[in-house]
């Protein structure tokens, strides 16, 4: 029977193949009390599982192919840090010693405690790190059960029960595999040869989960957040993944299969055509130059940006330096070396480094354990957190200024809303310069920009332009705060609308005012990387787009096909419409 499952499209493209169900080891975890004499035995089981996973992940990391995307190595490093995190290990040991839980029960109990802390985080990217922790625990549970690798499910069942024996996949089989799982870690993905790994579907996950990031970097079609997909799909079912629409079609009819096979071939041809645009300037038909920049997560992402013809880095997220450290903060030298590596990697092209955009929640929070955040999405995050901890902020500013001695560096401040925040930021930046000067350290000049991601900032854009060299519009948060929508809440996520008239008005006014004052303005949210939005943004006057490197060529194609001057009147019609999506044919 043919049916479809809907989720989030996180990596574009079409995949067709046979379903391989990946079982979850958390199903039916044994729960029982142990005797006092058994405590040391359970602690030893915990230690052995932890060491086995550490060795396994380290082996995967050390044996990555040279052509692997840099995201894989960085994500495996995050998993390695989580395995060694004392907060997890000490907490599990506490359940065993104090409550006399067996090791598996203790491990899942501590996971639930830490997972709740991740759920309270205001930053979507950091909330998704809960998935990384769950994947690490999953691997430990597998070792406790004597299963050391990804386990496909039996072909005649729909349940999540793992097989009793270990099944090895035939990596030499010709039929492409489509992995279907409740969740799938990047480390698990490495255990399938890329030649037959066509795509994957998971019940959980979001657009910023590490699994989604790896899928985009590998250019593998993927749908996450498909809820009950792993329960509905059977082993060896034929699967079509429509990574553009976020749809999974199970057991398609011959007609549908042929239709998507044709689409897949067309997509492959289109990908080959796009590769020819790598060195083509992004210039519209009427001669307007457009700068296409890359969003990067880690310093080693720079080569991928250069490979697709990015003219710089429009957003370098510095959060990776602060993650998985059990509350510790990176020192100045560590940050400086990371920023310098990104600057060197871009070979003279500009790099925009955003100061840390996280909240005061765990695992970075060093406040009292019983402190609660009633509404963390509106709490102490981004620049608010930085200004609340001047020593931490000064350390980051000094590191960025030192990196600026090696190339073009732009400094970007997130989530500003108040004049006093602007004043405090510039005062601390000047203090960081004085500190470096007093130490005799070499540092370079930086252009300073502000993120426009709060409606108050968009409505005060003239004030921002008086203080800053450039602006960068973070559409993800701007949409979320304008519409009072939590993108991570599945109950209201359908109301998240980048084409809402209010959102478009804030966007248009910010672009127009920036251009009127001769200041550079860019968009660095998901809208910038969506080819369906390119013509509208060009018509509104945008000339700087920043996006994931894999999206650059598709957007460039839209740019070189567009006549920006002719799009201006049409863009104004879209702005005036009550239903902009209908006018755009979306």
Coil vs helix vs strand at 182: coil
Return d(Cα 419, Cα 423) in angstroms, integer. 6
What separation in angstroms does the CA of 445 have from each of 149, 366, 532? 50, 33, 37
Whether the CB-CB separation of 458 and 510 falls below 8 Å is answered with yes
Return d(Cα 47, Cα 352) in angstroms, integer. 42
Residue 6 annotated to the active site: no
Q: For residue 186, count CB atoms less than 10 angstroms from its CB and return exposed for 0-12, middle for 13-18, buried for 19 or more.
A: buried
Residue 524 annotated to the active site: yes
What separation in angstroms does the CA of 104 have from each of 29, 187, 544? 6, 21, 51
Active-site entry in 79, 210, 406, 548: 210
Whether the CB-CB separation of 534 and 555 falls below 8 Å is answered with yes
In three state form, how does the secondary structure of 102-161 look? CHHHHHHHHHHHHHHHHHCCCCHHHHCHHHHHHHHHHHHHHHHCCCCCCCECCCCCCCCC
Active-site entry in 61, 79, 524, 548: 524
Sequence-distant (6+) residues with CB within 8 A of 96 are: 34, 39, 42, 43, 46, 102, 103, 106
Q: Phi-psi region for residue 205, left (φ > 0), alpha (ψ -120 to 50) or beta?
A: left
Return d(Cα 14, Cα 95) in angstroms, integer. 46
Distance from the Cα of residue 231 to its chain's centroid? 26
Catalytic residues, by residue number, are 210, 524
């Amino acid at each position: 029977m043919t049916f479809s499952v809907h989720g989030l499209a996180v990596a574009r493209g079409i995949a067709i193949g046979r379903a391989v169900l990946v079982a979850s080891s958390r199903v039916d975890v044994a729960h029982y009390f142990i005797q006092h004499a058994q405590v040391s035995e359970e602690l030893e089981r915990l230690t052995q599982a932890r060491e086995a996973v550490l060795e396994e992940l380290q082996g995967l990391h050390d044996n990555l192919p040279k052509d692997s995307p840099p995201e894989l190595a960085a994500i495996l490093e995050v998993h390695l840090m989580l395995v060694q995190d004392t907060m997890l290990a000490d907490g599990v040991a506490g359940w065993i010693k104090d409550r006399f839980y067996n090791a598996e029960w203790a491990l899942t109990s501590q996971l639930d405690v830490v997972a709740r802390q991740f759920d309270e985080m205001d930053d979507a990217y950091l909330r998704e790190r809960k998935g990384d922790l769950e994947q690490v625990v999953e691997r430990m549970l597998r070792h406790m059960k004597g299963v050391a690798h990804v386990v496909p499910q039996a072909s005649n069942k729909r349940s999540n029960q793992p097989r009793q024996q270990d099944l090895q996949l035939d990596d030499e089989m010709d039929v492409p595999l489509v992995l279907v799982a409740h969740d799938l870690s990047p480390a698990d993905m490495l255990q399938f040869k890329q030649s037959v790994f066509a795509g994957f579907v998971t019940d959980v996950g979001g657009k910023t989960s590490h699994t989604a990031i790896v899928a985009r970097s590998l250019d593998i079609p993927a749908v996450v957040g498909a809820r009950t997909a792993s329960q509905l799909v059977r082993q060896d079912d034929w699967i079509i993944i429509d990574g553009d629409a976020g749809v999974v079609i199970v057991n398609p009819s011959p007609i549908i299969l042929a239709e998507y096979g044709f689409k897949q071939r067309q997509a492959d041809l289109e990908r080959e055509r796009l590769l020819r645009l790598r060195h083509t300037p992004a210039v519209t038909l009427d001669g307007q130059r457009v700068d296409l920049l890359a969003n990067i997560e880690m310093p080693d992402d720079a080569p991928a940006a250069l490979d697709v013809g990015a003219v710089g880095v429009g957003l370098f997220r510095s959060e990776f330096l602060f993650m998985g450290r059990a509350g510790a903060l990176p020192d100045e030298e560590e940050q400086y070396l990371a920023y310098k590596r990104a600057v060197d990697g871009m070979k003279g092209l500009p790099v925009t480094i955003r100061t840390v955009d996280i909240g005061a929640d765990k695992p970075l929070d060093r406040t009292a354990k019983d402190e609660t955040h009633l509404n963390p999405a509106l709490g102490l995050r981004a620049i608010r957190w930085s200004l609340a901890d001047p020593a931490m902020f000064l350390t980051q500013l000094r590191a960025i200024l030192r990196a600026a001695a090696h190339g073009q560096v732009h400094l970007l401040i997130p989530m500003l809303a108040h004049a006093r925040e602007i004043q405090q930021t510039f005062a601390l930046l000047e203090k960081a310069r004085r500190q470096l000067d007093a130490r005799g350290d070499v540092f370079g000049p930086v252009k300073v920009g502000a993120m426009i991601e709060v409606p108050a900032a968009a409505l005060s854009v003239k004030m921002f332009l008086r203080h800053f060299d450039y602006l960068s519009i973070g559409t993800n948060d701007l949409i979320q705060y304008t519409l009072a929508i939590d993108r991570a809440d599945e109950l209201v996520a359908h109301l998240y609308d980048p084409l809402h008239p209010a959102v478009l008005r804030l966007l248009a006014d910010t672009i127009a005012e920036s251009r009127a004052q001769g200041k550079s303005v860019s968009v660095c949210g998901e809208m910038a990387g969506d080819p369906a939005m390119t013509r509208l943004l060009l018509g509104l006057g945008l000339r700087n787009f920043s996006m994931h490197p894999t999206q650059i060529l598709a957007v460039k194609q839209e740019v070189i096909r567009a006549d920006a001057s002719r799009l201006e009147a049409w863009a104004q019609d879209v702005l005036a419409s009550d239903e902009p999506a209908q006018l755009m044919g979306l």
